[in-house]
A and B are shown apart, each in its own frame.
Chain A
Amino acid sequence: MEPLKPGRMSVPGITEPKDLIVRARAGDTQAWGDLYREYAPAMFRFCRRALPTREDAEDATMEIFMKLREKLSQYDPSRSFSAWLYKVAANHCWDLLRRRKARHDKDMEDIDELPLEAPEPNQLERLIEERSGDEVRKALNTLGARARMALVMRYYSDMSYDEIADALGVRRPFVGVVLLRARHELRQALQGSGALAAGGMQ
């Protein structure tokens, strides 16, 4: 199996195709095609994690690349290309989710009202040990839009707290709270997915 590739490709060891980006910005369609092929899988996965259905993710991936192509001239080459890419993607997906509003998903405001109960560390450890990636992805699908979006931005795209705050429209100090709340939601979903017999959280 191919080694895991973090969502953000600006991490050490992975270089961005600067030459392609420059040529694509200059209008080279071949370069744009190569760039697309390079980034489309990661972008599709981002959308797949952030949006409720596969069809939504397919549509959104295409729309994001259409937007990117239009905005390519606005990209500042001195900054990370993938960071810019994920910013556009995150804004697009969040816009989509916001337009559909919480009526299709879990209502986020209700969740905000729930108190946070700190888990027992040992039980949390057990819960994490027992869960596979597949189970986590399924649980992720059941979360409210904002919780899912926050987790995807942070743990898939490796976006900074500032970027997340900007995309979700919350103040930066509250990004941590949003993430923590999202983790709680996720744990609840994981708990509900079974294997409580092994001693899940209460």
Chain B
Amino acid sequence: VSEQNTTKHLDELTLLMYVERQLDRDAAQEVSLHTQTCTRCLTMLRALDRESRLLTRSMVEEDEPLPMKLAEFHEQVKRSMRWIWGVLFGLAALGVYALYTAYIEPVQNQLEQAGFGGSNLLSLMVFQGAFWKGWQSMFTLVEFAALGSVAAFGVFAIRKYLRRGTALAVMFASLGLLAAFATPASAAEFRKNDTVTVGKEETVKADLYAMGDHIRVEGTVDGDFFGFGQSVEISGHVTGDVICFCQSLRISGQVEGNLRSLANNITVTGSIDKSVSTFTEMMTVDPSGKIGRNLTSFTKSLTFDGTLGRDLLAMFGKANINGGIGGSLSAKGENLTINSGASIGGTAKFEGDNPADVSSGAKLASPLEYKKMQHKSHDSVRGSGYYVWSVIWAAAYVLFGLVLLSLLPGFSREASANVENVGASFGLGVLVFFAVPIAAVIACVTVVGLFVGLATLFLWYASLYFAQVIVGATVGQWILGRAADTWGLIGRMVVGICILRVGMAVPYLGMWFKYGVIIWGIGALSLAIYRRLQPSIAPNIPSVPLSSPNAPLPPNTTVGNS
């Protein structure tokens, strides 16, 4: 064999395709002819062939015996299924009973007693209360939320077919489309200074976002007003809603929309045409203050001397009512005083530590119904019932865990594996545990993300339970060894949860242990979600060009002599 043409050797890919019998007849013959005269290519051809054989031999060699648990896999699953089903049905019944008696029944009773029979607090707050802006304005928001969700699901569903860049492009394109089709938002004006003032003669024809130590609206805001500051005073006219985060808020002018506020103290001497919902330390509605619809107040001290069109729903430390309430009163707190100047058009209900002090001069459509508030027993007072309930609750967790592990086996496994990554899980757990509810509440209050906020809160709350299940599954695996399948993981989860519940039952320390477990688990869950949301490996095409572009690679050829 002579070296005929040393400058034009065949490339490695062509030789490999020849060895692999992937060349068409003509190309294969070319290779065959070439290698008869070219020692280098022939050596390469042989080396590649031997490499293939080495690979096959290495891989098929039985270097490890089949693990014992795999040898008995089939029978084991069948056996374990039988008792697991029995146990699970028992636990399911216990869990449902526990959930019903501990949560649903008391809430149902409370709501009925508070006069909300049939509806619930959330729907009351959303549809009758301050969050509701009327169908017209809410519809755009609902549309936007729905479109956004569809787009997000779409991107999530096809993400594995997309490269990182493409995914971003699709996301931005979708956002662009949404923005293009969405109803143009009303204009907004931003003002930031130590003192922000809308002068008496001034009219802001836009939503106003004001930030500063002292904010005063003396003129007119033709739109919504968002205030973030130390003190906010509205003596002018706001045609939309007022949303405020501040230390002190005073409304002496007119607000045509709703008032939503998180503040230290709020005083209303002017009028608010729609509803008010507030979280405050002190809430005061002066005799001249008027609220067109409902007042929902969570406060330490409530003084209501003004006029309210519809219902008053309040939770407080101390409340003093001397004004007119068109609808009903539902109150919960320590002390309630209803003075002679008060009038209540609907029913009046109070659940408190002490009976309400109702003046004989007060005009109540029906007598006030009082119920003594039941305080939950403390950890230190533990009867046998406590331990029975601990067992029932452990069963409820097992049930919850079973549902989750069955529905999301892959995700649960990943989250459970993350639990062992203690540092990252704890770090992320602390962040998510505290930051998510805060962000969700802010989203709810600012309406912009009402649905997102509520959904996030719900998920966050559910994750408090899921976190314990996940940590339980990991603890179970530490004790019983790594689970081979989902049922194995469920078994280990049961053991782990029982151990965790025992830990949580320790007086005083148990509470801290529980928070630790929750934070740890939430971190592991967040880590798993984060990793899932990372773009997956795209089935990209190798970027190195074929070294022999002239040689096409048609399928299923049978030429080749190796």
Contact = CB atoms under 8 A, between A and B. Distances in A.
Nearest to A6: B60
Interface in B505-562: 531-532, 534, 536-537, 539-544, 546-547, 552-553, 555
Main secondary structure of the interface of A (DSSP, over half): helix
Contacts of A100: 531
Interface stretch (B48-56, B323-331, B373-381, B447-455): B48-56
Interface stretch (B16-24, B189-197, B245-253): B16-24
Interface in A119-167: 119, 121-122, 124-125, 128-129, 131, 133-134, 136-137, 140, 145-146, 151-152, 155-156, 161-162
A174 B55 contact: no
B61 A4 contact: yes
Interface stretch (A15-23, A44-52, A82-90): A44-52
A112 B544 contact: yes
B67 A58 contact: yes
B365 interface: no
B442 interface: no
B485 A66 contact: yes
B62 A41 contact: yes
A98 B547 CA distance: 28
Main secondary structure of the interface of B (DSSP, over half): helix
A7 B60 CA distance: 6
A189 interface: no
Interface stretch (A73-81, A179-187, A192-200): A179-187
A16 B555 CA distance: 26
B323 to A, nearest CB: 61
Interface residues of B, number: 59
Interface string A28-56: 01001100110011001100110000110
Contacts of A177: 13, 542, 544, 546
A136 B543 contact: no
B411 to A, nearest CB: 10
B64 A48 contact: yes
Contacts of B12: 116, 118-119, 180
B73 A6 contact: no
Contacts of B78: 29
Given A2-B62, A7-B59, A181 B544 contact: yes
Interface in B1-56: 11-13, 16-17, 20, 22, 40-41, 43-44, 46-48, 50-52, 54-56
Contact of B542 (A2, A5, A63, A181): A181
A169 interface: yes
A161 B22 contact: yes
Contacts of A99: 410, 414, 532, 536
Contact of B540 (A98, A109, A183): A109
B13 A125 contact: no
Nearest to B489: A59
A36 B74 contact: yes
A40 B16 contact: no
A151 B47 CA distance: 17
Contact of B536 (A36, A101, A186): A101
Interface of A: 2, 4-7, 29, 32-33, 36-37, 40-41, 44-45, 48-49, 54-55, 58-59, 61-63, 65-66, 97-103, 108-109, 112-113, 115-116, 118-119, 121-122, 124-125, 128-129, 131, 133-134, 136-137, 140, 145-146, 151-152, 155-156, 161-162, 168-174, 176-181, 183, 186
